[in-house]
Amino acid sequence: MTVHPATQKIETPRLVLREWEETDKEPFARMNADPQVMRYFNSVLSRAESDQFIDRMQEHFRIHGFSFWAVTLKEGGALIGLAGLARPRFEAHFTPCVEIGWRFAPDHWGKGYATEAARAAMAEGFSRFRCTEIVSFTAQDNAPSRRVMERLGMQRDASDDFDHPGLPEGHALRRHVLYRMPQDSWARLIPV
Ligand SMILES: CC(C)(COP(=O)(O)OP(=O)(O)OC[C@H]1O[C@@H](n2cnc3c(N)ncnc32)[C@H](O)[C@@H]1OP(=O)(O)O)[C@@H](O)C(=O)NCCC(=O)NCCS
C-alpha cells in the first residue's frame, strides 16, 4: 500500500483512494439514487443531497485529516464507491469514536473491492491517525456490510447493539450492530 500524504491518495493492488473531485458528483449521485445501494439507509439521496455529502466529506478532511475517500479503479479511473473513516456526529454509548464505512455501486459488488479499500483505510487510521480503536456499525439486517466487518477481523459483542438515534422509534432499520477493532488487535492481525 502506498500513501501520498500531500494528496491524500492511497493505492491498493486494484484501487486508488483519493479526495473528492467535481467530476465525481454525477456518478456518486447515480449511486446514491439507487434503492439497492440505499436499502439499509433511511432513503435514497437527491442530487443536491449527494453533492452536499461530498462537500461534508471534503470539510471532514480539512478538520480531521481523514474522511471517506472516493474509491476509484486503478484501471480506467472510474469512481466505484466510497470507503474511509469518519467521526460520527450523533451521540451513543460508544461515541466519540472513529468509524469505518463503505458504499459501492452494485456493478462492483462481489469482487472484494470494499474489503480491499477498507483494509487500507483502517491501516491509515491506526498508523497515520493513531486511532486507539475503530468501530463500524450498520442496520442489523445488513448482511453484506457485516461480512465486510468480519472479513476485516472486527468483533461484535451483542451488548453493544444500539438504536440509531437518527431514526425514529419503530423504524425498521433503527436497531444497529456495532463491531470494534482495537489498535492492539489490528497490530496482532497485521504484524509490523
Ligand atoms: C456493503 C457492501 C460495500 C459490500 O460489498 P461486497 O461486494 O459484498 O463486499 P466486498 O467488496 O468485500 O466483496 C466481497 C465479496 O466478493 C467476493 N470476491 C470476489 N473476488 C474477490 C477478491 N478478489 N477478493 C475478495 N473477495 C472477493 C467474496 O467472495 C465476497 O462475496 P460473499 O460475501 O458473497 O462471500 C455493498 O453491499 C454495498 O455497497 N452496499 C450498499 C451500501 C451499504 O449498505 N453500505 C454499508 C452501510 S454500513
How far away, in angstroms, is 114 Cα from ligand 1 center? 6
> Chunked in runs of 10, what are the mean pLDDT values of the chain (192 residues)?
67 98 98 97 96 98 96 98 97 98 98 98 97 98 98 98 96 97 93 59
How far away, in angstroms, is 37 Cα from ligand 1 center? 12
Output the CA torsion sign for 88, 93, 96, 98. negative
Q: Is the CB of 101 under 6 A from ligand 1?
A: yes
Q: Is the CB of 180 under 6 A from ligand 1?
A: no
Q: Atom 43 in ligand 1: which residue has the minimum CA distance?
A: 103
Question: Can you tell me the distance from the alpha carbon of 172 to that of 154, in angstroms, rounded to the nearest whole number?
Answer: 25
Q: Is the CB of 121 under 6 A from ligand 1?
A: no
* Rg of the chain (C-alpha set): 16
How far away, in angstroms, is 104 Cα from ligand 1 center? 9
Q: How far apart are the first and last CA of the chain?
A: 13
Per-residue model confidence (pLDDT) at position 4: 57
Per-residue model confidence (pLDDT) at position 1: 66
Per-residue model confidence (pLDDT) at position 190: 76
Q: Atom 35 in ligand 1: which residue has the minimum CA distance?
A: 110
- The domains found in the chain, sorted by start residue, are 2-189 (3.40.630.30)
DSSP percent split of the chain into helix, strand, coil, nearest 5: 35, 25, 40
Per-residue model confidence (pLDDT) at position 59: 96
Q: Is the CB of 106 under 6 A from ligand 1?
A: no
The model's pTM is: 0.95
Question: Can you tell me the distance from the alpha carbon of 21 to that of 139, in angstroms, rounded to the nearest whole number?
Answer: 29
Which residue type is seen at 184? D
Contact between residue 69 and residue 8 where contact means Cβ atoms under 8 Å apart: yes
